[in-house]
């Protein structure tokens, strides 16, 4: 990102199909790399974004042709990624923290996202769909 610019945004509209997750992983790797994130952070961001996109594809689907949106907000010290679908939403209170020893294959995506990103906000409702916003801060150079 140009040093003179404080904020820049890229937005991508994606069909609800799993094959497009790899495209979005490549896109975010390129964006994060250009912002100066290290390899470890780039891997974390890719995993978190893949989980959010998988949720939009698997749970947030609606009519054919109705894409979901991924927005990348690049700032000097952070990358904020929003994944928004226009599906049926869900009840956030119904999602329970996984207990050690009771781990199932499913039901971990949101916890993985929260553990890998610095800040996560979810807005969801039956009339608005779901929007998950996740922020990763650039580490201070030492």
For the bound state, the minimum distance from the C-beta of residue 50 to ligand ADP, rounded and expressed in Å, comes to: 11
Closest of 108, 136, 138 to residue 44, by C-alpha: 136
The token pair at 53 is 């996109």
Interface with ligand ADP (CB under 6 A), residue total: 16
- What does 90 interact with, of ligand ADP, Mg ion, none (CB < 5 to 8 A by kind)? ligand ADP
Among residues 21, 48, 87, 134, the one that binds ligand ADP under rule CB under 6 A: 87
Question: Under DSSP, is residue 18 helix (H, G, I), strand (E, B) or coil?
Answer: helix
Q: Using CA atoms in the order 43, 48, 49, 54, what is the torsion angle rounded to 10 degrees?
A: 120
- What does 130 interact with, of ligand ADP, Mg ion, none (CB < 5 to 8 A by kind)? ligand ADP
**Site mask, ligand ADP, residues 16-45, x = CB under 6 A?**
------------------------------
**Helix-helix angle 39-58:109-116, to 10 degrees:** 150
Q: CA-based Rg of the chain, rounded to a whole angstrom?
A: 15
| Complex with Mg ion: residue 4 or 105, whichever CB lies closer | 105
* CA 76 to each of CA 37, 48, 119: distance values in angstroms, whole numbers, following the listed order: 11, 21, 17
Site of interaction with ligand ADP (CB under 6 A): 51, 55-56, 59-60, 85, 87, 89-90, 95, 106-110, 130
């Amino acid at each position: 990102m140009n040093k003179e610019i404080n904020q820049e945004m890229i937005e991508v509209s994606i069909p609800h199909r799993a094959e497009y997750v790899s495209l979005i992983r490549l896109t975010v790797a390129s964006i994060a790399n250009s912002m100066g994130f290290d390899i470890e952070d780039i891997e974390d961001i890719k995993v978190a974004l893949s989980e959010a996109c998988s949720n939009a594809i698997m749970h947030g689907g609606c009519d054919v042709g109705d894409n979901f949106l991924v927005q990348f907000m690049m700032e000097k010290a952070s990358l904020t990624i929003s994944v928004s679908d226009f599906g049926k939403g869900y009840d956030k209170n119904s999602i329970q923290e996984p207990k050690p020893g009771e781990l199932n294959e499913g039901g971990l995506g949101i916890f993985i996202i929260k553990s890998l990103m610095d800040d996560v906000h979810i807005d969801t409702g039956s009339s608005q769909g779901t929007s998950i916003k996740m922020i990763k801060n650039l580490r201070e150079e030492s």
